[in-house]
Structure 1
Amino acid sequence: MKTLNRALLPFAVLAAAPLGAQTHLAANTAPADTTPAPAATQAPVTVSALPVVVGSPSAGGVGQFEPAKQGRDFNGLQLQIGGAFAQTFQALDHETSATAAPNTTLGQIRPGFNLASANLNIGAQLARGIRVDLESYMASRHHNEFWVKGGYATIDASPIDVPVLNRIMEYTTIRAGHMEINYGDAHFRRSDNGNTIRNPFIENYVLDAFTTEIGAEVMVRGPYGTFVMGGVTSGENKGDIKETAVDASPAYLGKVGFDRQFSPMLRLRLTGSLYSASSSPAVTLYGGDRTGSRYWGVLEDTATLKAGTSFTNGRVNPGFANEISAWQINPYVELGNLELFGVIEPASGKAAAAADRREVNQLAGDVVYRLLNDQLYVGGRWNRVTGDWSNQTNLTVTRTAFSGGWFVTKNLLTKVEYVTQDYEGFAATDIRNGAKFNGLSIEGVIAF
């Protein structure tokens, strides 16, 4: 590819930067000891940097999904700060077979650095087993100003010292507030603006299930690594009290699975998730990421590229704006240094004005092999979405990506990815008709 040679110099620059070694985290669903501790004498507020902000999807270890329950110790109010920063270089080419029609002339793109992105997370341990987290984006592709992603409380211990409540909370975790919902396992492995250290690749899945909503989730952990979660949310990614033509009904989500370390060499995890909203003014499960994709400018027409208004390049949003039922099944295997992760995701829904519901289906598989005590890794991903969207039927988008990464420390990472993505079934006057983009991306990540 003509852009590969021009990409070598920035790769050398980023690879020389001191950029993340992670360590594998064991299955993290076992109950923790939440026996009431002796009342702590109120200590002065302390500030400490955390490699992992517990209860929030910031810089996490390899193989981390839901955070483990917190311990019983509490030594006074603690303020904890975490952050993340990512800088990406891309050298991508794109092409289309669309016939000459308005908005089908591809904009010209070249190798270059994308706008850097950054996150800031602040957490506070308020009491035994009770903490609050505030997550913010300091800069992002779609919103370059500082703005809040969400804030929520996590309760892992009873605030009332009653034996029966203490016993229940040994196995129960409650999250409430404006938060990233726990639908599926893919959202634990995605790039979240500047925080891309958990993602072995550059970009997320083509059908990117991610949103923040106001609500509450309750998880109960059982024996042998089993767990079940249920939740209810507003069904919208922001607060709103305006009366609209579409009724505002709650959205419901659930998750069931197990996560168990059978031996030092073998860990198995399998989960199934559901998200359902029967009537909402603005469902955003597949359009809730307002920070943008990592592939800038691909398959944009000249006017859109010049205006800079597009920010979801390479992704599919099926437009289930008011009704949706979505399921996600995720197998995960750690076999020695080999890591396997899969996504099976059927979804259906519609916009209020549509007469009938439509369907989409996503399949994805990741294979990652980690070397030198997780300091290096190589990986491959295959991802396909089929179905009906954009007022068209029988559409297919297929992505194949190969990646490699180097963790110089636990918090610093350099990764490189080659991607190719193809589009099939789109109308001749659609810019995605016979379209394709491919090329190289390199990313430096700092997360703490």
Structure 2
Amino acid sequence: MKKVFKTSLIAAAICLSGNMMAQNVTFGNIQNQIKRDQRGINQFDVKKDSVEFKGISIDLGGAFNMDFQAINSFNDQPTNFPAPSDITGYRLMNQENNFNLPSADMAIGAQLFDGVRVNLDVYLSSRHHNETYVKGGYLQIDKLDFIKKDFMADLMKYTTIKIGQMENNFGDAHFRASDNGNTIKNAFVGNNIMNSFTTEMGMEVYYNRSGLVSMLGITNGNLNQGTNEVTFTPGPDKQTTVSPSILAKLGYDKQINQDLRVRLTGSYYHNANLGNANIYSANRSGFGYWGVLNNSAYTNNGVAVPANYNAKSTPEATFNPAFGNWATSYMINPFVKYKGLEFFGTVELASGGDKAGSDDKRTANQYAGELVYRFGQTEKFFLGAKYNTVSGKLSNADANEVSVNKVEASAGWFMTKNILAKLQYVSQNYNDYSQYVGTPASGNANNFYGGKFNGLVFEATIAF
């Protein structure tokens, strides 16, 4: 059986090789692609280039990282709860200074025709899944020559169309963020506290010309695709439909001179009837810091803690406004780069409803500023500082808003354009969270009550 399998494998390889040679298949000759390594830093949206089409070409790439984490978590919960909750021995999970589970991605693509390419993004290992699964795949069209040579060439010179299940383009912050194994473009380890990220089935149309940046997109509003009837909530107000998500971006991006580049964009997102996730709950790869403000793994003298210890705690400890009915978000992103010094900002104003049948409006606002100085030959070194704050109600029933703020400081070294090592200090604080989830009688301790974590993370990342 082994001999037959080996013979069949060799025969298949010979046939595949012959078929590729017959079609004049090349490798890496891909048009209009943002580089996955250091060269892709500060490249937003889509980019036209002058790569010549020479037949079908295959693209294969990857990205992965390893983190050594030395972080401690704290909160204001007493070690022994008083009656009536009757919880004893409460404490947060112990954390060692050690390596986290590495994350890895793979990108597979092909240039299929002049101005037409396909891309498939795969999470090989992530916090959400131990097994490999597909992040998304899309078709990118930069020319319509497959219809007729030079068909609408004057328009397509500045236009790009993307169709498929893909990372949807809301705002500019996600272009500088970490995404599972792909962390080389992030000068820091963490992402924004309220992280807007989703992958939905849809289409985006870009028109970029002479500094003008514009995009209009629409998706079906679902993170997980399916045709089942939607019944999110029981009763007369049950939600039985999912509305499309509308995306838009408008801005200006110009290299003023050799030293100065200026970019300013405004982005819009809206969904009238949310699907199985909102834009702040769709990230499956975490936010950079593992196990913080979590006590699910702690045991007291060998006795497992009760299940309700983990109430209101998430493995990522991010801020998710948990909009359950409708959501609207605006994001403004200024970016200025003068020589090696760059500033990137985020102003994000989000609003939404709690659940189907309830349109009461609540808001969550986020502000972030990054200052990064890149120096050395090919800007191989950098120093960075970031401040991020977010505030809002977690539900309409809450009496008060809560807030979270974070300070990050980092230093990095690009050993090559594909290999980056960075060291970061982080301090994140949670303010005005209640001591319990629900009433004290419920006994559900809120891990974010007076919560904070701080420490160091060393990250090594490779992308190609």
Give the C-alpha shift of residue 105 in structure 1: 2.9
Mapping for residues 60-139 of structure 1, pairs under 5 Å = 60-71=39-50, 73-99=52-78, 100=81, 105-139=91-125
1:339 is matched with 342
Mapping for residues 227-266 of structure 1, pairs under 5 Å = 227-245=213-231, 246=239, 247-266=241-260
1:196 is matched with 183
1:145 is matched with 131
The secondary structure found in structure 2 opposite 1:239 is coil
Q: Which residue, out of 402, 411, 418, partners 1:404?
A: 411
Rounded to whole Å, the distance in 1 between the matches of 2:408 and 2:51 is 43
Q: Which residue, out of 143, 151, 167, partners 2:154?
A: 167
1:437 is matched with 453
Q: Which residue, out of 378, 384, 397, partners 2:383?
A: 378
Give the C-alpha shift of residue 170 in structure 1: 0.9
Give the C-alpha shift of residue 53 in structure 1: 8.8
Aligned amino acid, residue 256 of structure 1 = L
Asked whether the 8 Å contact 2:36–2:463 carries over to 1, the reply is no
Normalised by the length of structure 1, the TM-score is 0.85
Aligned amino acid, residue 190 of structure 2 = E
2:140 is matched with 154
Distance verdict in 2 for CA 1:58–1:175, change over 3 Å: farther
* Bigger shift: residues 145-154 or 243-252: 243-252
Rounded to whole Å, the distance in 1 between the matches of 2:150 and 2:286 is 47
Aligned amino acid, residue 94 of structure 2 = Q
Distance verdict in 2 for CA 1:64–1:302, change over 3 Å: same
* Bigger shift: residues 181-190 or 65-74: 65-74
Asked whether the 8 Å contact 2:337–2:343 carries over to 1, the reply is yes
Stretches of structure 2 that go unaligned for 5 or more consecutive residues are 1-20, 232-238, 437-445
Rounded to whole Å, the distance in 2 between the matches of 1:234 and 1:297 is 33
Give the C-alpha shift of residue 164 in structure 1: 5.7
Give the C-alpha shift of residue 292 in structure 1: 1.7
Asked whether the 8 Å contact 2:224–2:276 carries over to 1, the reply is no
1:424 and 2:431 aligned: yes
Give the C-alpha shift of residue 72 in structure 1: 6.4
Give the C-alpha shift of residue 56 in structure 1: 8.0
Give the C-alpha shift of residue 62 in structure 1: 2.3
Rounded to whole Å, the distance in 2 between the matches of 1:143 and 1:204 is 20
Q: Which residue, out of 166, 170, 174, partners 1:179?
A: 166
Work out which of the two has the higher radius of gyration on C-alpha atoms and give 1 or 2: 2
User: Can you list the C-alpha shifts for 1:210-246, whole angstroms capped at 9, x where unaligned?
Assistant: 11000000011132x1121101001111212111132
User: Can you list the C-alpha shifts for 1:75-134, whole angstroms capped at 9, x where unaligned?
Assistant: 110001110010001000111113535596311112110000100001100001100000
Rounded to whole Å, the distance in 1 between the matches of 2:320 and 2:108 is 31
Q: Which residue, out of 25, 28, 38, partners 1:48?
A: 28
Asked whether the 8 Å contact 2:252–2:264 carries over to 1, the reply is yes
Q: Which residue, out of 276, 291, 295, partners 1:282?
A: 276
The secondary structure found in structure 1 opposite 2:393 is strand
1:294 and 2:288 aligned: yes
Aligned amino acid, residue 371 of structure 2 = V
The secondary structure found in structure 1 opposite 2:430 is strand
C-alpha RMSD of matched pairs (Å): 2.5
Aligned amino acid, residue 98 of structure 1 = Q
Rounded to whole Å, the distance in 2 between the matches of 1:72 and 1:336 is 27
* Bigger shift: residues 181-190 or 309-318: 309-318
User: Can you list the C-alpha shifts for 1:354-389, whole angstroms capped at 9, x where unaligned?
Assistant: 552221000000000011031110000000001111
Q: Give the count of matched residue pairs.
A: 406
Asked whether the 8 Å contact 1:49–1:82 carries over to 2, the reply is no
Give the C-alpha shift of residue 322 in structure 1: 3.0
Rounded to whole Å, the distance in 1 between the matches of 2:383 and 2:124 is 30
2:10 is matched with none
Rounded to whole Å, the distance in 2 between the matches of 1:53 and 1:318 is 36
* Bigger shift: residues 209-218 or 152-161: 152-161
Give the C-alpha shift of residue 71 in structure 1: 3.2
Aligned amino acid, residue 432 of structure 1 = F
Asked whether the 8 Å contact 1:58–1:83 carries over to 2, the reply is no
Distance verdict in 2 for CA 1:72–1:113, change over 3 Å: closer
Asked whether the 8 Å contact 2:37–2:418 carries over to 1, the reply is no
The secondary structure found in structure 2 opposite 1:263 is coil
Rounded to whole Å, the distance in 2 between the matches of 1:156 and 1:406 is 35
Asked whether the 8 Å contact 2:32–2:49 carries over to 1, the reply is no
Asked whether the 8 Å contact 1:130–1:153 carries over to 2, the reply is yes
Rounded to whole Å, the distance in 1 between the matches of 2:324 and 2:52 is 44
Give the C-alpha shift of residue 302 in structure 1: 3.7
Distance verdict in 2 for CA 1:357–1:56, change over 3 Å: farther
Aligned amino acid, residue 132 of structure 2 = F
Q: Which runs of 4+ in 1 moved over 6 A?
A: 56-59, 304-311
Mapping for residues 308-347 of structure 1, pairs under 5 Å = 312-347=315-350
Rounded to whole Å, the distance in 2 between the matches of 1:193 and 1:214 is 20
Give the C-alpha shift of residue 58 in structure 1: 7.0
Rounded to whole Å, the distance in 1 between the matches of 2:108 and 2:37 is 10
Aligned amino acid, residue 284 of structure 2 = R
Give the C-alpha shift of residue 61 in structure 1: 2.4
Q: Which has the higher contact order (CA 8 A, sep 6+)?
A: 1
1:207 is matched with 194
Stretches of structure 1 that go unaligned for 5 or more consecutive residues are 1-40
